[in-house]
Amino acid sequence: MSTAPTDPAPGSARPLVEAVEGALERVLDEARLARGGAVADYIPELARANPEHLAVAVASVGGNVYGAGDDRHPFTIQSISKPFVYALAVRELGFDEVAGRVGFEPSGEPFNAISLEPGTGRPANPMINAGAIVTSALVPGPTPAERFERIRAGLSAFAGRQLEVDERTFASERATGDRNRALGYLTLATGILPLPVDDAVDAYFRQCSVLVTARDLAVMGATLAHAGVNPVTGEAVVDPAIAKRTLSVMATCGMYDYSGEWLVRVGLPAKSGVGGGVLAAQPGQVGIGVFSPPLDGRGNSVRGVEALVGVSQAYELHLFDHLTRPRSAIESVVVGPDGDVVVTLRGEVDFIAAEQLVDELRGHAGEARSIRVDARAVTDVRAVAARFLAVAAGHLRAGGLDVVVDGLPG
């Protein structure tokens, strides 16, 4: 981030950017104190990583990206590709077809465990390698090259830029990947894997070798957080229902055998990779990417985990850390001299907002002559809220009150 010496113009975004990035710098200063861990060394490309690299980036659903540290340094995405390729497989084949081949249950086991459901042979979930190899193989295409191109294009759409494969990492993954091949054969034997093992694992090794930065991870996470629409490019990459399903699987399975403690400490759906990256998302708010190569015994970045704990705390993002006073959709209530009441709404109307509004309307039942609910500034209304409002308005009308709801989106 460059800091110009002059005061910013009144409309400048710089003070906000500096405030956000300053907070991210402080998160990194804390995370840097975490010791221990070791850089993955099963292939030379990962063993060569600089253990001092440290980055964090946050992308908002408003399309802004903030970063600190080595946030533009490339590294291989590794297992962080898994939720995104899962989303792409569901986009191509639909929920049922994918669910018939890969489950949703957290295995509580390491990433490369043989977690296959007794009876069906389905891998427990798409975040462990067995499940990821199957989901990757489900993305269709006439040739292996075209299939992988579809995966790469999909990952790029999530990131909002063309992502490239690190060919050396791919070659090493392929040369040392016998355990993944073994997982492939096990799923082939049960009829779950739809492709020859070598085709399937090659695509998986390639997707693991895609180069990203912490900023890319933040935007990819923000795309899931933004109901599947990349907030930087505006592209609808997957449907809202697919983004929701992907985040759900990340929440329970994304951090392998650390998923439970993770949900307690950070409280966000997330996915880690042995390249040192970790991605998290707060639905409706932000995507977060962190990067630091040394890993703990479960394959999660030691400082990356601490950085995400820091961001979650600093920005109060824990999913179960809600506001004690629910947001109200009521902007104003004006009572005219003749008892004509105008209630103006704005923003989202969910169940709680509808409940507050109904309480407000009921409060005027005795004295008002008419009530007009001006909902033209409402951006979104939950179906359940619309139903309750309709019932309440009907009840007030039956009592003789003239109630008009104006402009509630359908």
Q: Please give the residue ranges that form the binding site for ligand GLU (CB under 6 A).
A: 78-79, 111-112, 129, 173, 180, 208, 273-274, 299
Catalytic residue among 274, 286, 311, 343: 274
The three-point CA angle 112-115-118 to 5° equals: 160
Residue 271 known to be catalytic: no
Catalytic residue among 20, 61, 79, 301: 79
CB of 341 to ligand GLU, least distance (A): 59
Smaller CB separation from ligand GLU, 180 or 213: 180
Distance of alpha carbon 126 from alpha carbon 134, whole angstroms? 8
Count of all residues that appear for the chain in the document? 410
Q: Which secondary structure element, helix H or strand E, spans residue 272, and what is its range?
A: strand 270-272
Distance of alpha carbon 317 from alpha carbon 282, whole angstroms? 7
Smaller CB separation from ligand GLU, 288 or 385: 288
What are the backbone dihedrals phi and psi of residue 223, each rounded to the nearest 5 degrees, phi first? Answer: -65, -40
Residue 82 known to be catalytic: yes
CB of 230 to ligand GLU, least distance (A): 23
Smaller CB separation from ligand GLU, 129 or 187: 129
Smaller CB separation from ligand GLU, 73 or 382: 73
Catalytic residue among 66, 86, 256, 258: 256
CB of 119 to ligand GLU, least distance (A): 26
The three-point CA angle 395-365-363 to 5° equals: 110
Tokens 């400048």 found at: 12
CA distances to 26, 119, 151, 353 from 282, in Å: 20, 36, 24, 21
Q: Residue 369: helix, strand or coil by DSSP? A: coil
Residue 256 known to be catalytic: yes
CB of 214 to ligand GLU, least distance (A): 16
Smaller CB separation from ligand GLU, 42 or 95: 42
- Enter the tokens of residue 253: 């399975």
Smaller CB separation from ligand GLU, 129 or 230: 129
- Residue 65 class from Cβ within 10 Å (0-12 exposed, 13-18 middle, 19+ buried)? buried
CB of 344 to ligand GLU, least distance (A): 51
CB of 288 to ligand GLU, least distance (A): 18
Distance of alpha carbon 125 from alpha carbon 179, whole angstroms? 18
Q: Cβ distance 331 to 379 under 8 Å?
A: no
Catalytic residue among 66, 86, 204, 258: 204
Catalytic residue list: 79, 82, 204, 256, 274
